[in-house]
């Protein structure tokens, strides 16, 4: 059975990722693995230099309080991530996806992709994540890292899902271009879509 990997983080793109999963799976049975990866935002950093500012007892007390605060933040991050996954799973099931597995991971995003991508057919991710700077209009850092590290097709979800009726392939004669065409031709989801192949040159 074909398999999708989908990555969400609770950003405004998460619902769109789910909707793109539902669209991509239409007319076929897919196993969907839904991931939320926490990359250690709340792990304690290196030792701070309090010399000249605090006495030994005050410094020790502050370090304990900071450690406890980090632990509380980490627990809250875990609870939030689990809730995001549960809500996304409900959305997928309501959209007709029968086989959904959720994964809450702690660690590096690219390591997670590398670990699970080999038995997947396509990866779906939002254009930006929760921590993106929308004012800069750049792609999210995880998306860039994913595209550079994966050997699987990647479907990038916009902020809101819109029905997909046309495909454009930027063809340069390379292996990836041929791979994209072969993937589209072999996948019945794209059979009724209008397809354009564009070659740009001087």
Separation of alpha carbons 202 and 198, rounded Å: 13
With contact defined as beta carbons under 8 Å apart, do 152 and 123 qualify?
Answer: yes
- Domains of the chain by range and CATH? 3-163 (3.40.50.620), 165-202 (no CATH)
pLDDT band per the 50, 70, 90 thresholds, residue 160: very high
Question: DSSP string spanning 24-93?
Answer: HHTTS--EEEEEEEE--TTS--SPP--TTTS-HHHHHHHHHHHHHHHHHHHHHHHHHHHHHHHHHHHHHH
Average per-residue pLDDT for the chain: 85
- The enclosing H or E element of 97 equals none
- Stretch 113-130: mean pLDDT: 88
Q: Which range (10-24, 35-49, 65-79, 155-169) has the least confidence?
A: 35-49
Separation of alpha carbons 30 and 121, rounded Å: 10
- What integer pLDDT is reported at residue 54 of this predicted model? 62
Pick from 202, 142, 147, 144: which is nearest to 172 by CA? Answer: 202
pLDDT band per the 50, 70, 90 thresholds, residue 184: very high
* 3-state SS assignment for residue 94: helix
Q: Is the pLDDT of residue 45 over 50?
A: no
């Amino acid at each position: 059975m074909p398999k999708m990997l989908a990555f969400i983080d609770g950003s405004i793109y998460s619902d769109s990722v789910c909707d793109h999963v539902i669209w991509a799976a239409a007319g076929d049975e897919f196993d969907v693995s839904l991931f939320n990866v926490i990359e250690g935002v709340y792990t304690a950093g290196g030792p701070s230099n309090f010399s000249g500012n605090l006495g030994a007892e005050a410094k020790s007390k502050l370090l304990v309080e900071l450690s406890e605060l980090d632990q509380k933040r980490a627990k809250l991050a875990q609870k939030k991530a689990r809730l995001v996954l549960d809500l996304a799973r409900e959305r997928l099931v309501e959209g007709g996806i029968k086989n959904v597995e959720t994964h809450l991971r702690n660690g590096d995003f690219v390591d997670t992709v590398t670990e699970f991508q080999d038995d997947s057919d396509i990866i779906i991710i939002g254009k930006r994540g929760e921590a993106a700077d929308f004012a800069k209009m750049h792609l999210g850092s995880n998306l860039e890292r994913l595209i550079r590290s994966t050997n699987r097709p990647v479907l990038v979800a916009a902020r809101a899902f819109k029905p997909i009726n046309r495909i454009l392939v930027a063809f340069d004669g390379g292996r990836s271009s041929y791979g994209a065409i072969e993937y589209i031709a072999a996948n019945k989801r794209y059979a009724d879509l209008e397809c354009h192949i564009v070659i740009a040159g001087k």
